[in-house]
């Protein structure tokens, strides 16, 4: 009997959600951050309207901004979405995809890469009026001429954080206040992604008490595109779980965690 009781208590303990590592607003169990890369038209056409309809804000990492889209990105910033840095020309290593040889990361030095990031901040400030911006590494790489530039970027103080890319669960149990802002992980969702998979990832964070940072490219169009219907279904699910999950921008999550250690 005692063994059965002990086993039952162990099972009950394992079923309980982990104690939250970060005290999120209004008793939320975790934070959910929705990030979008590359300043794509489908984000303006599909992602932002879906977020706005649900009263949620996302983080948009801009690179290769089209002149025709400037007013729309400025409007997104005025509506509370975060605009962040993704370089001007999105330099990745030459083996990732065909690119102008001037804008592959092998053609850069650390100095020229940091200069480009700083120059992109000028555009962002012209769009949103803010003097603080986060950054996401192009293709999840932080290389210039084959050398890692993150520590030089940290020293320069040009950006407030750096978001990367990971394939494993991202900080579901993290104490975000203690996280290194120069190494923020995110999980990518693209072609074939379903609302069920996105919900499962958000649930991981809810159980762990940390955060889940999502990475999208196209939404219902462009490339690496998550289906628009699945993205909308996920947004609708998040709206139904506002008490448990705080949906915010990446800068918002980091600022909150720092102010509430």
Dihedral of the CA atoms 12, 16, 21, 26 (nearest 10)? -140
**Does the pLDDT value for residue 192 go beyond 70?**
yes
Can you say whether the dihedral through the CA atoms of 73, 77, 82, 84 is positive or negative?
positive
Structural domains in the chain, sorted by start: 28-259 (3.20.20.370)
Instruction: Output the pTM of the full model.
Output: 0.91
Q: What is the DSSP letter of 213?
A: E
Pairing between β-strand 245-248 and β-strand 30-37 as defined by DSSP bridges: parallel
pLDDT digits (tens, 9 = 90+) for 24-50: 999 999 999 999 999 999 999 999 999
pLDDT (average), residues 204-225: 95
Contact 31, 22 (CB under 8 A): yes
pLDDT attached to residue 168: 55
**Does the pLDDT value for residue 2 go beyond 90?**
no
pLDDT (average), residues 84-107: 97
Find all residues with CB under 8 Å of 13, minimum gap 6, and list them. none
């Amino acid at each position: 009997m005692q063994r059965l009781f002990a086993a039952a208590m162990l099972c009950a303990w394992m079923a309980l959600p982990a104690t939250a590592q970060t005290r999120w607003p209004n008793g939320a169990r975790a934070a959910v951050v929705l990030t979008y890369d590359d300043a794509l038209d489908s984000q303006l056409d599909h992602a932002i309207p879906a977020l706005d309809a649900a009263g949620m804000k996302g983080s948009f990492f801009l690179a290769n901004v089209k002149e025709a889209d400037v007013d729309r990105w400025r409007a997104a910033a005025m509506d509370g979405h975060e605009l962040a840095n993704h370089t001007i020309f999105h330099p990745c290593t030459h083996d990732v995809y065909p690119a102008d040889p001037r804008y592959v990361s092998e053609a850069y030095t650390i100095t020229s890469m940091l200069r480009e990031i700083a120059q992109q901040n000028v555009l962002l400030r012209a769009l949103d009026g803010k003097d603080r911006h986060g950054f996401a590494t192009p293709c999840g790489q932080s290389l210039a001429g084959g050398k890692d530039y993150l520590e030089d970027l940290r020293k320069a103080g040009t950006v407030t954080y750096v978001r990367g890319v990971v394939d494993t669960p991202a900080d579901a149990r993290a104490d975000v206040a203690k996280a290194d802002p120069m190494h923020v992980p995110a999980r990518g969702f693209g072609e074939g992604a379903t609302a069920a998979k996105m919900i499962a990832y958000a649930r991981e964070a809810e159980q762990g008490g940390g955060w889940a940072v999502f990475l999208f490219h196209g939404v219902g169009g462009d490339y690496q595109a998550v289906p628009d219907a699945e993205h909308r279904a996920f947004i609708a699910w998040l709206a139904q779980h506002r008490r448990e999950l705080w949906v915010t921008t990446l800068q918002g999550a980091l600022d909150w965690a720092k102010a509430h250690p």
